[in-house]
Amino acid sequence: MSDDEQAGGAADDAPEKPAGGRSSDADDKKADDKRSGDRKAGDRKAGDKKAGDDKKQARDDKSRDDEGEDDDEKSAEDEAEDEEDEREKERERAAGRFKAYTRDPLAEDQGEDGPTDLAAAARTRRATRLLFDVGRDLHRFDRSYFNNAHIGDINLRLGARRFGAGMRSGPVPEDELRRLRRAHVEPEGYVRLRTALRARRLLVLGAAPGTGRTSTALSLLDEVTTSAANGTGTGPDAEPPAGSRVLRVDPDGGVRQLAASLDESRGGEGEEARAGVGYLLELSLTRPGALPPDEMDLDELAAALARCEAFAVIVVTVGSAANPLLAGRYGMICPPAPTEELLATRLRERLEEHAAGAGEDDTAPADLLARAERVADREEVRNAVGLKDLRPAEAEVFASLLAGHVLGDVSRDALLDGCRSLAAVQAQEWFAGVDRALTARPAEAERGDRNPGRSGTATLFHPVAFRIALAVLGGASHSAVAAAAHLLTWELSVQSDPDSTPARPLFCDDPEADRALSRAELTEGKVEVDGHEVPARLIWYRGSALPSAVLTELWDRHFPVRAPVVRWLRQLADDPRDQVWMRAAVAAGELCVRDFDHGYTELIRPLAEATTNRRLIFAATTLDQAAGHASHRKAVHRLIGDWSKKGTPSQRWSAAWALGYGNAAATMDDTLDALARIGVRDEGELVTVASHNVVRLLVLPDAAEVLARMAEWTHHKREPYQDLGLAATVRLALTTVDELLMDPDSLGDDSDSPWADRGDWPVALALAAIRPELVEPMADLMWTALNTARSKDVAMDALEELLRSAVRKDGTEWTRPGLAELLPALATEEHDRRRLDWLLRRMMSDPEKPLPDADARDLWWLAVAPEERARQDGPRQDRRRHEWPGPHRPHPDRPRQERPRQDRPRRERTREEERHG
């Protein structure tokens, strides 16, 4: 038995005694008897005064002699008992302090007994990092935005301005309509739209910008007007009449002006010219003060169109302002064009144009088309595009790039860079000039006659706020993203118009509009609530490239928006939901990479000096995300090194957590040195977080080096180092793999990683099953923790948790393979087996969770050495309950032959243990 166990055993075996001891009670009784005797002697002195005086004097002298002897005995006994009591109290205090070292690092924020959901936070981080793939993000670009590019004989328009945005009114050129007839791809439900337009003469078409809604409207008008003029069938093959029959209408005039102009032309010279004409009107309802036309205005316009035998399509953007129009009798939703067919059509058009001017020896267009489709299917090209659905303008660019590549005009690198630009262009369109209308104040506002009504900036900023929130929290529940978007809407509104109180209507949200305007999709999934999964609707961008593109556009091109976004991220850092604050931390790291000086000053340093552990983890995760980029890795290493040496306690806490990710130092040796500095400083004030992050490193390939350093700490002469090693050892048994794993792909359903099906395993047993070479070092560490006075109770509880994880509640196997590797190395001595035997019997007698006899017997046989197990005979099922060949109950037929004790390094006893031993 070790010296440390003897020190602890003495405390366990010592009987409890009152603080004063038994001698104190006896002396009090003697003093009471003496006083009673004195009173009785005083009553008898009247009968024989002289004799009574002599007896009294003799009695007093004898009492003084006896009292002196009793005082000497009392002093020696009390001193011994006081010393023993003080040692017992010190041992209890040491055990209590060590138990606190193994608490969850988030327990202070969420309550000592409350759930902390570190596993949920770890899973959230792994999922979020997939949205910001460092190998494919915008740092691969030489610039973060594009205007145009000329590659070979192909001119690519990549600007944010939409085609035709500058056209106000007038006829649509015939060549544009001719090209539209040849290349337009009909969306799903196109025939239904055409039928409704022909029947009602008026159609309100709602869709998100860039989805091909204008092309669909022009195609509809071209078909119905051509059919009406020729009196023939419909379709693109019908011959158009002489002169343009499709006109664009100035949106400033609105519906009423168009209806009035139609009525004015009746009976005049222009009536014949108006007959059979189609009108395209694009209304903008997002400007402050813009009001949609009511149903009566639409009825008046439809009547005027019918009188002139004309047609009109009003194009609006889906959203709360357009909902009344789309819900009326004239409203319909315009579906987007199919991506695959759209791309094939555009690509065929480009290649046919090239073949028309090429010689006879060139490759046939069909062969070029097949080659281009194979290039488009390459994984690197699909990842570079990063969009699930291509909109018409994007299909134009992508088709031009593919055609140029197969024709030899566009290199591979130029092709990939052009593909990556698609998401950047979409982000640029989303944010270009959103608040331009707010900057143009009316004249009466400049004179001080401003309308006292509440500001409408919130309605204007909500769509962009939702896109930013989706970029930061993509993969979270729809409700979480919507709530975060409203918080950001408020911050943007206050920043834009600080003198007004932002007004946000309470019942105007339109989830379908938000999804359409942000290219998002909803999926059925689950989120974790206090460690339990519940069903939820999750929302994502329809394209992996969009989150990075949005954040880059936001941070690089719109500097005034940084202040409200930083305030918003600080609010998200305090959100109790792991799906929110952890995703925000990863996104904050991506923003800091774009401008580390600003990000460190406004985000990292303030959060790293906070008083709540969640904010400290937020800062650490942000730093780790920045360290994932080679351009910032060395800077993060130096920063974490400085914090570990001379930082404030909060900064050292954040540094410890950042080191646990494995990227905050140049080597594993440097990482462990920094964690040791943090853990032992100030008499182990931060040993809790330091030990937790030591264990987090064990899932990395350098686990053997980590275990070796833990063994060095447990043998160190200084007690803080010993506590660090012992606390990390106990955490090794108490922490599950889910809380620690760094690799985002290792827990996927289709992952080949050995960790994939062991997410809920204790780290010690998972390592034992995956890497058997680490069993002996782990067993030596656990042996030391079990035989050290201040850690043995917590270590024994941890060992019990390991044993109970052998099988699940339904009887299926759980961690039994890991226990089969670890237990034999942990129970090699008589003392170790006796302790295991006692623990199993205690678990069997547990009134709340009794361990079944069969399970206890199976665990015991797992711990028995293989050669000894082969010597045991007799069927196991014949043994009675509580009977198995334990160390203190040897087999009756054969003497015990123990395995030779393995040489385990003994830890030097601390001064505290020498004092208590």
Residue 637 token pair: 């290493």
d(C-alpha 470, C-alpha 433), whole Å: 20
d(C-alpha 537, C-alpha 369), whole Å: 40
pLDDT of 67 reads 53
Residue 373 token pair: 């489709």
Task: Please give the backbone phi and psi of residue 275, each rounded to the nearest 5 degrees, phi first.
Answer: -65, 130
CB atoms within 10 A of CB 438: 17
Residue 771, strand partner residues = none
Contact 622, 589 (CB under 8 A): yes
| pLDDT 10s digits, 710-763 | 999 999 999 999 999 999 999 999 998 888 766 544 444 445 677 778 888 999
Residues of 328-359 as b/e, b for ≥16 C-beta within 10 angstroms? eebbbebbbbbbeebbbbbbbebbeebeeeee
d(C-alpha 515, C-alpha 501), whole Å: 27
Contact 538, 340 (CB under 8 A): no
Contact 476, 579 (CB under 8 A): yes
Write down the residue that tokens 């925000």 correspond to: 584
Write down the residue that tokens 């914090």 correspond to: 643
Instruction: Please state whether 813 falls in left (phi above 0), alpha (psi between -120 and 50) or beta.
Output: beta
Write down the residue that tokens 């009746």 correspond to: 266
Residue 509 token pair: 């949200």
Residue 460 token pair: 């204007």
Residue ranges in the chain whose pLDDT is less than 70 = 1-74, 84-85, 87-168, 229-244, 265-274, 286-290, 357-362, 437-456, 504-505, 508, 741-752, 865-917
Residue 721 token pair: 């180092």
pLDDT of 53 reads 54
pLDDT of 810 reads 86
Q: In 3D, which of 595, 599, 628, 602 has the Cα closest to residue 144?
A: 595
Residue 761, strand partner residues = none
d(C-alpha 808, C-alpha 837), whole Å: 22
Residue 715 token pair: 């043998």
Q: In 3D, which of 168, 315, 309 has the Cα closest to residue 225?
A: 309
CB atoms within 10 A of CB 738: 20
Contact 586, 125 (CB under 8 A): yes
Residue 534 burial class via C-beta count within 10 angstroms: exposed 0-12, middle 13-18, buried 19 and up: exposed
Residue 861 burial class via C-beta count within 10 angstroms: exposed 0-12, middle 13-18, buried 19 and up: middle
Q: In 3D, which of 207, 180, 179 has the Cα closest to residue 193?
A: 207
**Total residues found in the chain within this entry:** 917
Find the helix or strand (DSSP H, E) in which 528 lies. Answer: strand 520-529
**CA distances in angstroms from 445 to 448, 458, 499, 770, listed in the order given:** 5, 19, 13, 72
Q: Which residues are within 8 A (CB) of 189 and not within 5 positions of it... i.e. 6 or more apart?
A: 335
d(C-alpha 571, C-alpha 567), whole Å: 6
DSSP labels, 871-888: H--S-GGGSPTT-S--TT
Q: Which residues are within 8 A (CB) of 440 and not within 5 positions of it... i.e. 6 or more apart?
A: none
Contact 197, 203 (CB under 8 A): yes
Strands 532-541 and 311-317: unpaired
Q: In 3D, which of 457, 909, 479, 502 has the Cα closest to residue 718?
A: 909
d(C-alpha 724, C-alpha 681), whole Å: 11
Contact 212, 337 (CB under 8 A): yes
Chain-centre distance for alpha carbon 603: 18
**CA distances in angstroms from 861 to 178, 341, 806, 812, 820, listed in the order given:** 84, 65, 13, 18, 9
Residue 171, strand partner residues = 247
Contact 523, 363 (CB under 8 A): no
Q: Which residues are within 8 A (CB) of 464 and not within 5 positions of it... i.e. 6 or more apart?
A: 430, 431, 434, 492
pLDDT of 72 reads 58
Task: Return the axis-axis angle of helices 719-734 and 49-101, rounded to nearest 10°.
Answer: 60
Instruction: Please state whether 231 falls in left (phi above 0), alpha (psi between -120 and 50) or beta.
Output: left
Which SS3 state, helix, strand or coil, does residue 747 take?
coil
d(C-alpha 694, C-alpha 703), whole Å: 10
For the chain, the farthest-separated pair of C-alpha atoms sits apart, in whole angstroms, at: 158
Q: Which residues are within 8 A (CB) of 853 and not within 5 positions of it... i.e. 6 or more apart?
A: 844, 881, 882
d(C-alpha 693, C-alpha 389), whole Å: 42
Contact 568, 445 (CB under 8 A): no
Which SS3 state, helix, strand or coil, does residue 108 take?
helix
